[in-house]
Amino acid sequence: MTIVLLQDVLDTPGLGIRLLHGDAAALARPVHRACTTDMPDPTRYVSAGSLVFTGLVWRRAPEDSEVFVAHLARAGVAAVAAGEALLGEVPADVVDACARHGLPLLAVPDDVPFSTVLEHLTRQWSSARMDRLQTGLARQRRLLAAFADGHALGELLARVCREFDVPAWVFSATGTLVAGNDELGESVIDACCDVALSAPRFPAEIPNGYTVLPVGSALRDRTTAWFLVLGPAAARNEDCVDAFTELATVAALERVRREDRLRAAWDTADARGVADAAGAAHPAGTPLVAVVVERTPAATPEQHVALRAVVSDALPSCVTGIDAAGRTVAVVAGTESDVVAVLQRRLGRLAPVLAGARIAVGVSGTCAGESIDGGIRSAESAAAIARGDTGPVSVRAADLDSAVGLLSAVPDRVRRAFADRTLGQVLDYDRRTRAGLMTTLEAFLDCDGSWRRTADRLHLHPNTVRYRIGRVEALTGRNLAHIGDRLDVFLAVRALA
């Protein structure tokens, strides 16, 4: 494949371009593009890997050279080509500044227009692009043929990694590994996910040298997207980036395959129920953990499906469903502490794309097959507590050191009897009159007993809230100004959930 190097520019016959500063390693640098500028601060007009042509118009005094060259060095340009037409020669202060910043410096004779050099380079790059296109198409055909023959994505990834001697990984948006063998630290995965979920365009580079490529239409819903991460230094090799971009096409096909298998598993779980499907999927006695995940404010049906996919991705072996409230319910083998740690890490990575929404997660204690329903109730209670936390993602374990957690461990029959005894008359009154007492009570408790906040939430006058809460107190025989009575009513409301 044709690659334009800085040495090629020097060797072009008839141009007479000379090297004023630079060693053999510098001359082996690839030149990806060319631009001209004479602005004192050229930052906005140059890009990494460019050969920058300048007529030195910006130089009013020797100290200007340091400022101009420093800007170019920070921008990561490949080299500077200075014209001799204005000053008759390239001043020594320009050469010294390039030497201090490690930038190769070329001198363009006064009788050679920049346009002549640019036309020559454009022809070279056109040839290089055609070579890259033909090579890329051939490589992509080979990858697609191998994928169609049944070769796994991980095998094809390893093949391209060996070709360019670059490590690479395919990750989901939660940082869950899809393909790739080498270990990558959690902090590096965090940085990769942060860039992958927030970059306005791709390829995107991370300060530690890694490069992120999208897999398929990653810019639409990034919470369920896949990304291909290349090891350090890959971005400096365009052929390498091209090859992995072609591999990303194959990874997109693998993603579609996995989505189809996931939807089939969902259909099975929906038909049997999450508890029964999870019990059937694991041998008797396997320690299981229930998880309830909800998005606030209330999600759309499409967001419910996306959230279910995110949970399935964060906990790859889980069985999932969506309950009547639109929450994702999952059951997975493991221990409470391990599941909490995984969800905090993986769901926490989605924070950059939640756009003001929140994810509240409840995790039950370890349960066996016969107590999965109780575990789900316990997780629901923990999710209710997480809903009141701050921050984009909150994961709460259903410990028995809270009243709600303790209530979740009580048998259904006892919980229902307690709720009916405490709130039965309120429920009956609402059924007969549609007075909205329960709605007002729930908002009042959620607003910590604040009349004004409750009124604002329900768009009511504060006197209306006071009247309705007074009716609740009369029907329940509880004074909600007293902490004990308020706790009774609060637990009764939770028991009805």
Q: What is the pLDDT of residues 85-144, one digit of tens each?
A: 999 999 999 999 999 999 999 999 998 888 888 887 777 666 555 555 555 566 677 777
Coil, helix or strand at residue 242: helix
The count of C-alpha atoms lying within 13 angstroms of the C-alpha of 441, restricted to the half-sphere facing its C-beta, is 30
Same-domain check for residues 309 and 385:
yes
Do 111 and 23 lie in one domain? The reply is yes
Helix axes 412-433, 462-476, angle to 10 degrees: 130
Residues 175, 115 share a domain: no
Residue 128 domain-assigned (yes or no)? no
Kindly state whether residues 12 and 95 are assigned to the same domain: yes
Say how far apart CA 328 and CA 311 lie, in whole Å. 8
Q: What is the pTM of this model?
A: 0.58
Q: Give yes or no: residues 223 and 297 share one domain.
A: no
Same domain, 454 and 475: yes
Same domain, 100 and 66: yes
What is the amino acid identity at position 125? Answer: W
338-357 pLDDT per residue, tens: 999 999 999 999 998 888 88
Residue that is written with structure tokens 């059924």 in the block: 431
Total number of domains in the chain = 4
pLDDT, averaged across the chain: 86
**Is 281 in the same domain as 400?**
yes
CATH of the domain at 78: 3.40.1390.20
pLDDT digits (tens, 9 = 90+) for 41-69: 998 888 888 899 999 999 999 999 999 99
Omega prior to 104 cis, within 30 of 0: no
CATH number at residue 305: 3.30.70.270
159 falls within a domain: yes
267 occurs within a structural domain: no
Domain containing 331: what range? Answer: 273-408
Residues 393 and 425 placed together within one structural domain of the fold:
no
Mean pLDDT of 439-464: 92
Domain assignment of residue 197, yes or no = yes
Q: What is the DSSP string of 115-132?
A: HHHHHHHHHHHHHHHHHH
Final residue belonging to a domain, choices 374, 408, 442: 408
Does 132 fall in a domain? no
